[in-house]
A and B are shown apart, each in its own frame.
Chain A
């Protein structure tokens, strides 16, 4: 598991409007570009700067339940999900209900960093 990279990626998407819009336009392309850049920074990132296949799939599919279960930090996850779903896909109320229903079965996975 590369929880550090999950949190780092969530932070970097949500930080600027441009990255939120790019992720929303094409999550797969965004991930490919981000991972390519993260693979060879100097000095290298821990875990080689890459996501596991599970993590990559969860991001590509905007699968917040899976990211939550993987230990994504809840605060970062909520703000990322809110930024990409609202208002085009769901209202914040609809998203809040869907989010709660999805993560409830996972209780509180360890989100220590």
Chain B
């Protein structure tokens, strides 16, 4: 059976890629050291595969075809797009996939009950995958199952749906016969705005919202978070704050346990999120439903 060895949430702000070089600017030093810390957590957890929950930024998915959730199931994937090489200086690199694990989550011949994933045999990973991967697994030597989410092109899945996605990932992995040590990593923003009147404030556009997120994660308060994360509330915290919903998937995937690390690291981009749900012992659930369906 699969074991969940670590669940975590990290930032992916693409401008970090050019900034986190020596000498690292003072306001970003804690962001850099947190990436170091999470890289160590991941190294200790020794995952065979990372199930990676992230938002596509109109790079692979446009509104000609916009799924709510999509699984990438290729053995090798492309990392970053030409306009992200130009804008952010990210390298164009191959990233290994894990088709067997991807098919387990997606379904082999039938989609799982209750989740109608889209899928891709040509997953192309944008900065939301690549920035964290390049910091957490610099050799890009751990296979990845990308779970793309639509947090950018309304209509979006609801907060409850993101939680259900996390529960589904957990139950489908733990109940499977897949022999893998799995890390589930999500990425997104806390309060954040780009392309609107509150971008580049040098601080968070909504510190109150950021504080609430820490409480939800530290308490494992999943229902409280769902209740609070309406479209209107998220928009009022900044027009990219919808990406916070990926962290609700992580919280649910960790069994809605209190996070062992819940930090909002202040820097010029606002508060960068670092969440972790560490495991004393790898979790598996021999009683969970076998196969590729949720119980």
Contacts and interface: CB of A to CB of B under 8 A. Distances in A.
Tell me if chain B binds chain A: yes
Interface of A: 4, 7-8, 11, 14-17, 20, 68, 73-79, 82-83, 96, 99-100, 103-104, 106-108, 111-113
Interface stretch (B43-51, B189-197, B285-293): B189-197
Given A104-B197, A113-B63, A75 B86 contact: no
A107 B197 contact: yes
7 contacts: A68-B195, A73-B153, A78-B194, A100-B197, A104-B197, A112-B154, A113-B154
Interface string B30-59: 000000000000000000000000000110
- Chain A binding site: helix, strand, loop or mixed by DSSP? helix
B83 A79 contact: yes
Interface residues of B, number: 26
Contact of A74 (B63, B64, B195): B195
Interface of B: 57-58, 62-64, 66, 81-83, 86-87, 152-155, 193-200, 235, 239-240
Contacts of A100: 197-200
A51 B123 CA distance: 31
Given A15-B83, A108-B235, 15 more contacts: A7-B58, A7-B62, A14-B83, A73-B195, A74-B196, A75-B240, A78-B194, A79-B83, A99-B195, A99-B199, A100-B197, A103-B196, A107-B197, A108-B197, A112-B154
A3 to B, nearest CB: 9
A103 B195 CA distance: 9
Contacts of A73: 58, 152-153, 195
A14 to B, nearest CB: 5
A106 B87 CA distance: 26
Given A111-B154, A112-B154, A112-B155, A75 B195 contact: yes
B87 A78 contact: no
Given A73-B153, A82-B87, A99-B199, A15 B82 contact: yes
Contacts of B154: 111-113
A75 B197 contact: no
Contacts of B152: 73, 75
